[in-house]
């Protein structure tokens, strides 16, 4: 609803009074009562029309200072500009402030999400609302807001007393805020009525105490390749998130990985694909296992960027690289080549040995991906307590002979280590009671 100029309302009231004066001139008492009622009704109407319930208290808003238009003069962003002690009385200065006397509390505020609320005041066009409701005259289709990372402003404000062919809309697309000191810069456009509205000049400026969101950082990139005894290659990439803002935390991340150093050019893996992937909120983990097929003996490059819980993204880290093992890890296994009786030596076989073990039960690999014998690698056996090795074997033998002291299921373990890693296997061997020894004697 457009605000009716006070002068127009006053003229209309006087005209009505003249008419009613003629009707009631025969009764002065009735006329005076009527005039009092009319004035009371007018005051109530003006109180209702004044947008006091919409105006925010200046002391609770974080935007202060003045803007300037050559067409409409000064625009005050906060009542504290004219009421420094916030006592509800105008100081009468500087320029653009009303004379000394009562002043409404008002102000413009930037919320934590960057959205503007509240009102500014122009001595010539009245209230300017920074969170007007659409439909908006053109793109962007939203009220005034600020990018909390860059300080760039966009959206619309609106003068409430628009009229005379002006729709009141003011576009903020050429305004920004210095994130270091909170000072506004640039110009908004309010059509031919307002023209360009400047937010900073040689003797004025608009500023905010808004707490800008510091850009987070990412560092300490590391790769844990773990072991590849059970699963295929699955390196785990990790990093450390940091943020200068107390209380901010990682809420999303983007890891890219490739087989050449130009990771940005069509990476093999991207954690944010399919979209939004880990670029969406709720991804606070500081590690990631890429979902791609890795090759042995290959070098990979990766980088990561992180975002905090307020939507600020770090830059991508520099490339970090790692090389996968030259071949698959050992695949240990073993069997027995003799009876498994308690108190008797049992022959365990892991590799082929002439006259002892017939075949390579354990498998190792070369750089061509071919299986080879594990003979010559490092072996370590673990037997139950009390086990006794033959004089020619030990826990590090490839094919030990061992006497086990107890009957029943016994757990035996073997670990084989080659130049890329170590893998283990555990198996249960059932050890039987030894048959009684006997000899035939003559009657």
Q: Taking 80 as the threshold, does the pLDDT of residue 58 lie above it?
A: no
* pTM for the whole structure: 0.61
Contacts of 251 (CB under 8 A, 6+ apart): 281, 282, 283, 284, 307, 308, 309
Across the chain, what does the average pLDDT equal?
86
Confidence of residue 41 (pLDDT cuts 50, 70, 90): very low
Question: 133, 155 in Cβ contact below 8 A?
Answer: no
Query: CA–CA separation, 90 vs 76, rounded Å?
Result: 12
φ and ψ of 191, to 5 deg: 60, -165
Identify the CATH homologous superfamily for domain 335-431.
Answer: Immunoglobulins (2.60.40.10)
- Domain 229-238+245-321 adopts which CATH fold? Immunoglobulin-like (2.60.40)
Q: Taking 50 as the threshold, does the pLDDT of residue 21 lie above it?
A: no
Sheet holding 335-336, edge to edge: 335-336, 345-349, 401-403, 388-389
Task: Please state, as a whole number, how many other Cβ atoms lie within 10 Å of the Cβ of residue 397.
Answer: 19
Confidence of residue 48 (pLDDT cuts 50, 70, 90): very low
More confident residue, 41 or 274: 274
Contacts of 81 (CB under 8 A, 6+ apart): 64, 65, 66, 94, 96, 97
User: What tens digit of pLDDT does each residue of 285-314 get?
Assistant: 999 999 899 999 999 999 999 999 988 899
Query: For the chain, what are the domain ranges?
Result: 12-49, 58-208, 229-238+245-321, 335-431
Q: 111 to each of 61, 126, 142, 245, 380, how far by Cα in Å?
A: 9, 24, 15, 17, 65
Q: Taking 70 as the threshold, does the pLDDT of residue 20 lie above it?
A: no
Task: Please state, as a whole number, how many other Cβ atoms lie within 10 Å of the Cβ of residue 200.
Answer: 19
pLDDT at site 436: 62
Return the axis-axis angle of helices 28-49 and 6-23, rounded to nearest 10°: 160
Closest CA to 114 of 78, 159, 151, 160: 151
335-431 has the same fold as 229-238+245-321? yes
Percent of the chain with pLDDT over 70: 84
- The average pLDDT across 144-158 equals 94
φ and ψ of 240, to 5 deg: -125, 125
User: What tens digit of pLDDT does each residue of 153-167 get?
Assistant: 999 999 999 988 899
Query: Which tokens go with 172?
Result: 């903020």
Confidence of residue 84 (pLDDT cuts 50, 70, 90): confident
Helices (H), 100-244: 191-194
Longest dimension (CA), the chain: 165
User: What tens digit of pLDDT does each residue of 334-352 get?
Assistant: 999 999 999 999 999 999 9
Contacts of 230 (CB under 8 A, 6+ apart): none
């Amino acid at each position: 609803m457009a605000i009716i100029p006070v002068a127009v309302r006053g003229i209309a009231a006087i005209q009505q009074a003249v008419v009613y004066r003629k009707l009631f001139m025969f009764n002065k008492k009735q006329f005076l009562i009527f005039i009092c009622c009319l004035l009371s009704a007018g005051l109530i109407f003006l109180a209702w029309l004044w947008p006091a319930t919409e105006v925010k208290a200046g002391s609770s808003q974080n935007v202060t200072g003045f803007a300037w238009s050559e067409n409409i003069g000064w625009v005050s962003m906060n009542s504290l500009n004219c009421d420094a002690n916030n006592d509800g009385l105008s100081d009468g200065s500087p320029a653009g402030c009303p004379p000394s006397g009562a002043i409404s509390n008002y102000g413009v505020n930037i919320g934590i999400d960057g959205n503007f609320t509240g009102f500014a005041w122009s001595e010539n066009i009245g209230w300017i609302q920074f969170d007007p409701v659409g439909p908006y005259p053109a793109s962007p289709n939203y009220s005034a807001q600020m990018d909390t990372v860059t300080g760039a402003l966009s959206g619309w404000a609106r003068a409430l007393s628009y009229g005379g062919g002006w729709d009141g809309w003011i576009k903020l697309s050429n305004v920004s805020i210095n994130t270091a000191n909170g000072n506004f810069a640039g110009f908004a456009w309010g059509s031919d009525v307002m023209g360009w509205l400047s937010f900073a000049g040689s003797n004025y400026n608009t500023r905010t105490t808004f707490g800008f969101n510091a850009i987070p950082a990412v560092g300490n990139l590391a790769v844990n390749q773990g072991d590849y005894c059970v699963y295929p290659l699955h390196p785990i990439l990790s990093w450390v998130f940091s943020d200068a803002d107390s209380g901010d935390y990682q809420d999303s991340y983007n890891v890219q990985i490739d087989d050449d150093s130009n990771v940005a050019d069509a990476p093999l893996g991207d954690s944010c694909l399919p979209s939004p992937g880990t670029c969406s909120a709720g991804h606070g983990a500081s590690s990631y296992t890429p979902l791609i097929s890795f090759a042995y003996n290959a070098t990979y490059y990766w980088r990561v960027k992180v975002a905090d819980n307020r939507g600020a993204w770090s830059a991508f880290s520099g490339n970090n690289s790692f090389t996968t093992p030259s071949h698959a890890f050992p695949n240990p296994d073993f069997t027995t080549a003799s009876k498994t009786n308690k108190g008797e030596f049992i022959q365990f076989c892991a590799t082929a040995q002439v006259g002892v073990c017939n075949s390579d039960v354990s498998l190792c690999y070369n750089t061509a991906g071919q299986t080879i014998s594990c003979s010559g690698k490092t072996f370590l056996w673990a037997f139950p307590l009390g086990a006794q090795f033959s004089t020619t074997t030990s826990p590090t033998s490839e094919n030990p002979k061992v006497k086990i002291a107890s009957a029943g299921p016994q757990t035996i373990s073997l670990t084989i280590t080659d130049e890329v890693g170590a893998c283990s296997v555990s198996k249960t061997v059932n050890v039987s009671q030894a048959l009684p020894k006997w000899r035939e004697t003559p009657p």
